[in-house]
Amino acid sequence: MANIHRIGILTGGGDCPGLNAVIRAVTKYAIMDFGLEVVGIAEGFGGVVRNQWRLLNLEDVSGILPRGGTILGTSNRDNPFRYPVMIDGHETYEDRSSESIKNLEGMGLDALIVTGGDGSQSIALKLFSMGVPVVGIPKTIDNDLMATDITFGFDTALHTCTEAIDKLHTTAESHHRVMVVEVMGRNTGWIAIESGIAGGADIILIPEIPFTFDNVAKAVLRRRDSGKKFSLIVVAEGARLPGGDSISKKTGLGRNVLGGIGDVVSHELAALTGIDTRTIVLGHLQRGGTPSPFDRILATRFGAKAVEIIMDGDFGKMAALKTPNIVAISLEEAVKGQRRVPPDGELVRFAQAIGTSFGVTSN
């Protein structure tokens, strides 16, 4: 067993339900079973750069299991290797990695737990290569991390999207409309395809399967001709236009983020079919709310496993679900690629078998 006295934990990237369950599991297991001190680092890697942290005790994590978000705060911008700074009114980037490592040493950490998606785990891998004893925990609603069967946060987001699709059925049917629901997922279609299947969507558009507006319109018109006067379409934010481009929009600070494909699909379909169409963008609703029981359990298992990996001195690893077990896999394996929906896989094939269109000629 490694000579460990104090460990740190941060939550990086976008927030999601289950982060507090991880913080709770790490803190309780480390303190109660191993007598360790636990440092909570604020605002993801931003807290590493700015040296913002505090000791966590059992009272700090009491009652946080069902809470969404993260009590530590998070950031999806504060990369120590490319840290944003303003110079003469313009944003530029600096390498603050050496300063960050000194801050981690100043915190007295014997190990650091990084909870996050592929971006956070890539940063963790770089820090590990520079001598920081790091262990990762996979988190993202997008479910796009390699080497783990599923990430926590996805199941809760899936429930949120499915509930929204369920509610849209009645209003779509009442007004004989086409409802286009835009969901998150970045460059993968896991949220779109699974919520679409669960919610009974008629058409699902994902980044992994190229579609055309003509084929989508034909699917809508086939439903109308068969007596179905409404259609529900679920589109992933990263779905690409027929020309291959993705759609992005600017935030209030002028940064480009994926989004807007729902409005484009809605506009094109209205022109091609003459049917009233409406767009619903679920956006950050998918990140919020109480974590599902599945996500609470998975996050707890990941947190406990991360502590065990640390106590074994097996750094440079990430906790991963290899059903039915939680195992330690290398960070290199975790970030070597993006987990995407197989276009010819079972999910797509079975969805097509029950009449779901993906905007391709065959359906």
Residue among 138, 123, 59, 135 at smallest CA distance from 307 = 135
Percent of the chain with pLDDT over 90: 86
Residue 142 has pLDDT above 60, yes or no: yes
pTM: 0.92
The residue ranges of every structural domain in the chain are: 6-152+291-323, 157-288+342-353
Range 157-288+342-353 classified under CATH 3.40.50.460: yes
Query: Distance between CA atoms of 301 and 70, rounded to whole angstroms?
Result: 17
Tell me the catalytic residues. Answer: 142
Percent of the chain with pLDDT over 70: 98
Q: What is the pLDDT of residue 173?
A: 87
Identical fold, 6-152+291-323 and 157-288+342-353: yes
> How many angstroms separate the first and last alpha carbons of the chain?
57
The beta-strand segments (E) located in the chain are 6-11, 37-41, 53-56, 83-87, 90-94, 111-116, 134-138, 178-183, 203-205, 231-236, 248-250, 256-258, 277-281, 317-322, 325-330
What CATH number belongs to 6-152+291-323?
3.40.50.450
Contact 111, 4 (CB under 8 A): yes
Q: What is the pLDDT of residue 363?
A: 57
Greater pLDDT, 87 or 10: 10
pLDDT tens for 24-70 read: 999 999 999 999 999 999 999 999 999 999 999 999 999 999 999 99
> For 130-153, what is the mean pLDDT?
95
The neighbour count for residue 8, using CB atoms within 10 Å, is: 24
